[in-house]
Chains A and B, each alone.
Chain A
Amino acid sequence: MAIVTPGKRPCDRIARSRVFGKKFLRGKRGVYATIMLTSLVDMFTIIVIFLLQNFSATGEILFMAKDIRLPDAVHGAEMERAPVIAVSADSLTFEGKQVMLTADLRKGDILNIPELDDALREERRKYERSHAGDASKPFKGLIHVQADRRITFKIIKRVMRSCNDSGYSNINFAAMSKAKAAEPVKTAMK
């Protein structure tokens, strides 16, 4: 006697039936699945609207370093593109290039940072050279200072002094934008 797979075995008539025969088909399910296009398009549209709302034409101005935790601010303004001085617990960088170690900044008693002065003056020279014939873009002296929240003013003061000496007197302190807390609704009490 032939060995057969255990299970239900229909008779010939049922097996040939278009209605009941499908029940007994094994391993012959259809490989095609239908997609509900309406819900797919709905989902895509919602995602596009959400992403468009978050879209920023200015792009990413500051590179968020792991070792810099910015403080929060409520009344901050949108930032323009400008050179960035980043001060972390370990190092001071200008436009991504390390200028000095923060530990060395704590030691010194001089008011400015000569290495940063040189880098800032070079940056200013570059800007003025590249915008020499363009009167619509004068040098505004704008610079971003991105420091870790625990950095003391002793270091910030020296950075600011260097910026000032190099002509960058419009200093932007970077902070994480935080939404203003909603004021409690005043209801009329009788």
Chain B
Amino acid sequence: MAGAAPHEGSARGKKKALDAELNLVPFIDLLSCCIAFLLITAVWTQIAGLQVASSGGPPDQQKEQQTIDVKLLVTEKGYALTMAGANVEIPKVNAPSGLAYDKKTLGEKLKTLKSSLPDQTAITVQPEDNVAYEDLVATVDTCLGEKLRDVTVAPLN
């Protein structure tokens, strides 16, 4: 029968059986050690980093490839996108937890900007003093999501 291990032959032509018995004890030992090691070294919290440049850094580290000067003001009222003389206001919207920054509209505006200026990678985010870290991170995250990788964070005043 196809696939079956050959039987041991008759007394004349004895063939060795192809089936081998695997010793499971060392195998289980190895797996146990692996599990112990991986459990000890496991990192359960996934933390990401949003890299930004800070305004006023050393001149050699300043980005020089800005196509146009794009500024995103984060104020108490909402976002204000300023570029090449134009100013786009994105007010806060109602959310279950109260008024929140309209990240969706900001994303759409940045997408439009990126489609008209594909080489544009720089943006300056200028938050007000009372803007929470959560909102700052969300804004930077939205910018990074629209391929604006050179984000500079500078104080508004």
Q: Which residues of the partner chain A approach B32 to less than 8 Å between Cβ atoms?
A: 44
Q: Which residues between 105 and 157 of chain B lie within 8 Å of chain A, taking CB atoms?
A: 127-134, 136-138, 140-141, 144-145, 153, 155
Chain B CB within 8 A of A93 CB: no
* Distance in angstroms between the alpha carbons of A6 and B128 in the assembled complex: 87
Known: A44-B32, A54-B43, A153-B155. A174 touches B49 (CB 8 A): yes
CB contact under 8 A between A77 and B28, given known A56-B43, A151-B133: no
Question: What is the number of residues of chain A that contact chain B, defined by CB distance less than 8 Å?
Answer: 53
B127, A170: Cβ atoms under 8 Å? Answer: no
CB of B42 within 8 A of CB of A76, answer no
- In chain A, positions 125-177 with a C-beta closer than 8 Å to chain B are 141, 144, 147-154, 156-157, 160-161, 163-164, 167, 169-177
Please state if B145 and A78 are interface contacts (CB–CB under 8 Å): no
Determine the chain B residues whose CB is within 8 A of the CB of A164 once the complex forms. Answer: 54-57
Cross-chain contact of B134 among A40, A60, A150, A174 (Cβ < 8 A)? A150
Shortest Cβ gap from B52 to chain A (Å)? 5
- Contact partners of B52 in chain A: CB under 8 A: 171-173
Q: Which of B38-61 contact A (CB under 8 A)?
A: 38-39, 41-58, 61
Q: A interface, by DSSP: helix, strand, loop or mixed? A: mixed
Interface: A101 (CB within 8 A): no
Interface size counted on chain B using CB atoms at 8 A: 45
Q: Are B133 and A149 in contact (CB under 8 A)?
A: yes
Contact A73 B141 (CB under 8 A): yes
Give bound CA distance, A61 to B52, whole Å.
Answer: 18
Report the nearest A residue to B32, measured CB to CB. A44
Chain A residue at minimum C-beta to C-beta distance from B25:
A37
Identity of the chain A residue whose Cβ is nearest the Cβ of B142 in the assembled complex: A75
Q: A31 contacts the other chain (Cβ, under 8 Å)?
A: no
Q: From known contacts A150-B134, A174-B47, infer whether A76 and B127 are also in contact, taking CB-CB under 8 Å.
A: no
Asked if residues B49 and A172 are in contact (CB atoms below 8 Å), the reply is yes
* CB neighbors of A among B4-47 (8 A): 24, 27-28, 31-32, 34-35, 38-39, 41-47
Question: Given A44-B28, A152-B133, A160-B54, does the pair A78, B48 have CB atoms closer than 8 Å?
Answer: yes
A74 to B47, CA, bound (A): 11
In the complex, how many angstroms separate the beta carbon of A152 from the nearest chain B beta carbon? Answer: 5
Q: How far is the CA of A45 from the CA of B34 in the complex (A)?
A: 10
Expressed in whole angstroms, the minimum distance between the Cβ of B23 and any Cβ of chain A is 11
CA distance A163 to B56 in the complex (A): 11
Q: Would you give 22 A-B contacts (Cβ < 8 Å), ordered by A?
A: A44-B28, A51-B38, A52-B38, A54-B43, A60-B45, A61-B47, A73-B137, A74-B145, A141-B57, A141-B61, A149-B133, A150-B132, A152-B129, A153-B129, A154-B130, A156-B136, A157-B155, A170-B61, A171-B54, A175-B50, A175-B141, A176-B47
List 18 other contacts, CB 8 Å, given A44-B32, A164-B54, A173-B51. Answer: A44-B28, A71-B137, A73-B50, A73-B137, A73-B140, A74-B141, A75-B144, A75-B145, A76-B47, A77-B48, A78-B49, A149-B137, A153-B136, A154-B130, A172-B51, A173-B140, A175-B50, A175-B137
